[in-house]
Amino acid sequence: MTPAKACPHPGCSGAVTPTGYCLASGERVDPATGRHSAPAAETPPPAPLPPPPAPVPSQRSPYTASYSSEGDARGESSQFWIVHPGPAALPERPALVTLPPESPDPTVLPEITLLERADSAGAHADPGGLPLPPGTLLAGQYRLVRLLGYGGMGDVCLAHDTKVDDRAVAIKMLHAELAADSYSLLRGERKELVELNHDGFIRVFNYGHHAGVGDFLVLQYVDGLTLREVGARARAHPEEFGHERFREFTLAYGMRILAGLAYLHAPGRGKVYGDLKPPNVMHDGSTIKLIDVGSVRRAGAPGLTTDDYRAPSVGDHGESDPRDDLFSLGETLRTLCGLGADRHDLAALSALGPLDDPAAGHRGLGLVSLARVLRRATRTHRADRFATAREMEDQLRGVFRELRSLRTGAETFEPSPLFLQSAHALDGGLGSAPALSRWAAPRAAARHPAPTPAQVARRLPVPRPDPDDDHHGELSRLADDDPEALLQHTGDWPDSPEVHLLRCRLRLRLTPRADDGPPDAEALSAAETALALAEDAIGPARAPHDWRLDWHRGLLELARSRVGAARDHFDRVYAAIPGEYAPKLALGHCAEHLERRHEALTFYEAVRLRNPSLGSAAFGAARARLALGGPDALADAIAALDAVPQHSRHRTAARTAAVRIRADHARDADGLGTAVRALAGLFFAHGLTDEQARVRMKAEVWGAAHRLLAPPGGGPPLTGAGLRAVAAKADPRLEFPADERTLRKDLSRFYRGLAHQAARDAPPREAGAPLAELLLDRAYAVRPFALRHHRDTPWLGKKIKDWVRAGTSAQRRG
């Protein structure tokens, strides 16, 4: 046997096989220069590909990444991303790429069909390089045809199985110098490789030994494009992969590969793949296969790895654990979609700073999430990465949903695996009929305040209980409507991290005041103590990597109104679980209070488009649109609220807010008419049935009409003809007045009804009594002029008429 020689590549400690491959990097060594030339692949040696064409404004390449993707309908885009074009690619093989229909399924891939397969009759058959003459029967069964390619552990040849219908198989022969050393998985684990049974791996049919070539594996024959070839093709022909849709396909590749890794990593198997990289993943038809099973080994065992995709935590001889496979997958996906020149660029690409730039466009958040999920997978220390393949898959699915919704504007909903959906809309009061105090002061400019930080702290989504917690079952069934009662109920429960976190949230919800103010100092101190106990229960080894602690620290900072500190905690949660919507919702509220309005809109829109049923995101987006202003601000704000679907628990609140915003911003008959028609829809289609709330909403819309009769800004007044036109198009059940006199009478009646509500809701000598008087004053100020009217007693003529009628009736009875 010819011994392996030291690799001449500068700085490389590997050895070169007789076929010219470096065992450390898996790359072929150029005999002329002594340098690595290209990554190994079970395909013909690679050749350089010309650089990708420059994108044109009307059709940008998916590799021209920016925070705005394609921008929104108004063309917002800005180049913030440095995109690495990737290594030199293989010569392009003729193939047909068929895009699948739009689908919320995160594992859907294009159909890739090679137009000339290596085993087809017309394929070029060059027997050169075969270790034995073509036609040789290996082990009396497998007839050699030709060399398919080179791998880091051995050559791969095409053969036909003469005992199974002459089917095509791939024969992998171990390099002779590896056959006698510790890397020889073909000797030690041949039976286990044959027993690998997962659709994500190429099947190992058999194994054998033949004089002159030694040990070999008989593999399922597949022929398609490797991910390295797919990436090169997507750069050269972005339209084949739907331009920026290729990022979603990148995540689909990741999820399919993770299914195979989860199979390997399962406790009953305890294996790792070890050498995951783009050339080892093949796309054949609409499926993918990990094609080099020779690197599969037990966790911690030595084995083959490749420098560019090897985790820093891998041992000197390739000793790996499952989290090292996740690192290699993260680097594979980063290379495939072209984010940065190396993994260290992901830190800059994950920054939130540019999100407050109006030129960035809210659609860029999906790329930030993509960079963050890949960054976590490729962190230097194992403890900073995803713990399991399932955990990484959950986050890839979430980023996929975000990317797809931001690209298409369509809902891509799937229940969160980590958060319970909040019942609260966080509308800042906009989603309910106006409070009576609204009419107690002179009208100011329309303003729609955000909920206070303390309200946000109490009403953000709640993390699902940890399935491994001792009290998971009980916590999953709890109803937490009454925080004091629940604190008593759980008071004697044995301590656990989830019990302490629950008590922290319950303490934050305790408030001594009826106006939903912040918790008092004692409640805040108790909440902080509960969080400290949760951290101690989790333990010093796990606590620095547990996002739940940062989530609750952010809630505590919000309760104290320290919004900047809360934002830092929620940002760390977003870095840990980039596919989840809850951290983005929290960051949107923080940005809104910090007056980073475009950043707030970016977060709210990403959450709202992904799941329009979440009222909090719709209200936040509407407030941010109105605060940013612009010619389309009103229409965009109302569109966000109107997009809350009929099945959402927040639909009535969203429609109520849309009516109020329309009424506040009505400037002419058209604007008023839109508000009146929306009010009819709210009453008769969208669920507002409370009679007192209806009176307040009518007072709001009728008041807008009255204001337009004499606009405070000096604009053109609403004419009688305009008022009649609005009434003619209104729902008759609404009884909207067609003239000014009736409008005033109705409005006066509404104000008297509101005064009665104020008087009834508060005892005399309290706040309700002065408010009732103010509302009565408004009623008498707006009433139309008349010769006869009454305030507290009937007109004298009516008294006399009633006395006469009573006397006449008495005489008849007598």
- All residues at 6 or more sequence positions from 667 whose CB lies less than 8 Å from its CB, including other chains: 708, 711, 715
- Determine what percent of the chain is predicted with pLDDT higher than 70: 80
Separation in Å, CA 356 to CA 69, 365, 588, 757:
16, 11, 11, 44
Q: Which residue has the higher pLDDT, 295 or 568?
A: 568
Across 317-338, average pLDDT: 96
Candidate from 312-321, 334-343, 685-694, 786-795 with smallest mean pLDDT: 786-795
Quick one: average pLDDT of 159-175?
Answer: 90
> From the CB of residue 106, how many other CB atoms can be counted at a distance below 10 Å?
22
Higher pLDDT, 574 or 362: 574
Model confidence at 515: pLDDT above 70? no
**Residue 81: pLDDT over 70:** no
What pLDDT does residue 439 have? 85
Tokens 């510790």 locate to: 182
Task: Give the pLDDT of residue 152.
Answer: 61
pLDDT, tens digit (0-9, with 9 covering 90-100), for 112-156: 999 887 766 555 555 667 888 888 999 899 999 988 877 666 788
User: Is pLDDT larger for residue 758 or for residue 38?
Assistant: 758
- Among 134-138, 541-545, 800-804, the range scoring the smallest mean pLDDT is 800-804
Q: Tell me which of 447 and 692 has the higher pLDDT.
A: 692
Domains along the chain with CATH numbers? 1-39 (no CATH), 96-114+225-408 (1.10.510.10), 137-220 (3.30.200.20), 666-814 (no CATH)
**Look-up: residue for tokens 């490389």?**
12
From CA 267, how far away is CA 262, in angstroms rounded?
10
Please give the mean pLDDT across all residues of the chain: 84
**Centroid of chain to Cα 521:** 36
The candidate with the shortest Cα–Cα distance to 218, out of 288, 141, 135, is 141
Going by pLDDT thresholds of 50, 70 and 90, the confidence category of residue 703 is very high
Residue list for the binding site for ATP: 172
Residue 63 banded pLDDT, cuts 50, 70, 90: very low
Nearest to 167 by CA among 129, 127, 222, 211: 222
Quick one: pLDDT band at residue 769, thresholds 50, 70, 90?
low
150 vs 753, residue with greater confidence: 753
The C-alpha atoms of residue 622 and residue 446 are separated, in whole angstroms, by: 13
User: 712: exposed, middle or buried (C-beta count within 10 Å: 0-12, 13-18, 19+)?
Assistant: exposed
Q: Roughly what angle, to the nearest 10 degrees, separates helices 691-709 and 651-664?
A: 20
Least confident window among 267-271, 479-483, 701-705: 479-483
How far apart (Å, rounded) are the C-alpha atoms in residues 112 and 282? 11
Q: Give the model confidence (pLDDT) of 579-637 as tens digits.
A: 999 999 999 999 999 999 999 999 999 999 999 999 999 999 999 999 999 999 999 99
Confidence of residue 503 (pLDDT cuts 50, 70, 90): very high
Phi/psi region, residue 285 (left: phi>0; alpha: psi -120 to 50; beta: rest), is left
Instruction: Decide which of 18 and 698 is more confident.
Output: 698
Length of the chain: 814
Mean pLDDT for 336-357 is 88
Annotated binding site: 172
pLDDT of 95: 93
